[in-house]
Amino acid sequence: MLFNSFIFLLAFLPAALVLHWLTDRFKPEWRLSVLLLLSLFFYGYWDWRFTPLLVASIAINWLIAQAFMRSGRDVLIPLAITANLLVLAVFKYFNFFADLVSLVPGLQAPHYDIALPLGISFFTFHHIMYLTDLKKGNAPRYDLVRYGLYITFFPQVLAGPLVRWSEIMHQFEERPSLRPDAAERFARGLMQLTLGLAKKVFLGDPLAAYVNPIFQAAAAGNAVTMGEAWQASLGFTFQIYFDFSGYTDMALGLALMFGILLPQNFDVPYRSVSLQDFWRRWHMTLSRFLRDYLYIAMGGNRRGLALQLVALFATMTLGGLWHGAGLTFVAWGAAHGLALGAGVLWRKAGLSMPRPLGWALTFVFVMLTWVLFRATSFDAAMRIYEGLIGLGAPGFAFKWRTILIAALIATLGPTTWALVHRLPPYRWIAAAFALVLVIILFKIGDDANYEFIYFQF
């Protein structure tokens, strides 16, 4: 049930909103249970076979949290976190590690075609955040319904944002319909959902048509022209932004329509003037998770420069592995770790750089490393890199119109959140958004819908 599908927009969402409103008005004590059941139904609609895994992970982690609160045994939390990571490793990384073992002469590890449950990386990290904070004494005990809803809340269960318990749990106690700004919140949530859909349907998906055939040709062993290489590299740079930030806008908008405020995940990242600045603006909730639960846990910047650089490199490399079970993802993360380390050394030396040059270097680096992220192998990535410098096939045909529009919006425009919350409550604005939503529905009915990129993680 994609957010950009008729079944979601015209069936599930209206039914869920009506049921939630009726419950909030007439049976408020049922509201959280209804939201939990709606979220489980939404998740199970993709593949009901994975719903027991999600339910079991919620029940087991909750029971361990209760046992820890009663007994105080510190060993319970590390065991639970290890178990969560092992489940993630089995489903997502078993064949990846089997391939690594098979690189050793004389060893051959078996392969198993295990379907990857949607959102497993995201809900696993939600468990880890809560359990880690519980062990530190920062998180309180919650009942099973509230904890289950924290893990499964349907706008963010599949692809984030990564939400800390402290950012959402207190909101479960509110009565959305009783807030004085309830109508305004709902309207702004609907506007954000509409703009997120527009980013996906009018920019992300058309850019996919620019990008996918070229990366597929490179994966098949075909040489890529310079024009095609630049089209694919620039196209994917903006495709992944509009695809993922569009999903996040939809998630934030949907949550707001149900009375929940989720954290923002993007802040115009392609305006960044350094790589450090980029990671403060791109997938912000993941960046905070990596910083607080990995980088700082490894020592961060508190134990000397050498350990800081090692921690930074290890954190970003593991962040790359989190994105996908492939060495290209590891290389992507490692490249960012090395570049962030170089930035630390640059700043420690007291050096500076003009902001326009910093922006250009950051953008080019991010674009070049996105090639590793998108390519299915190092050979495919190398064919794109060869094309970028003119060592591929001859030719410079380049589809640039959608890329130019995307570049202008991504670098000059405000975030969707800022735009929606700046707009005054005028009727003509509401009519314009209604028209955009109708056009989107026609577009969805006309074209094939692309799955969101981050659903595979």
Q: Show the DSSP H helices in 72-181 as ranges.
A: 76-88, 94-102, 120-136, 144-152, 165-168
Q: For residue 339, what are the contacts with CB-CB under 8 A and spacing of at least 6? A: 275, 365
Q: Could you tell me the sign of the dihedral formed by the alpha carbons of 370, 375, 376, 379, in that order?
A: negative
Are 386 and 377 within 8 A, CB to CB? no
Contacts of 277 (CB under 8 A, 6+ apart): 362
- Between CA 15 and CA 196 the distance in angstroms is 21
Q: How far apart are CA 256 and CA 261, in angstroms?
A: 6
Strand (E) or helix (H) holding 282: none
Residues sharing a CB contact under 8 Å with residue 293, sequence separation 6 or more, in sequence order = 128, 129, 132
| Catalytic, out of 126, 127, 283, 323 | 323
Q: Which residue has the tokens 């289950």?
A: 148
User: b/e string for 310-333 if b means 16 or more Cβ within 10 A?
Assistant: bbbbbbbbbbbbbbbbbbbbbbbb
Contact 406, 209 (CB under 8 A): no
Q: Please indicate whether residue 323 is annotated as part of the active site.
A: yes
Q: How many residues are listed for the chain in this entry?
A: 457
Confirm if 423 and 191 have CB atoms less than 8 A apart: yes
CA 36 to chain centre: 21
Would you name the residues annotated as active-site residues? 323
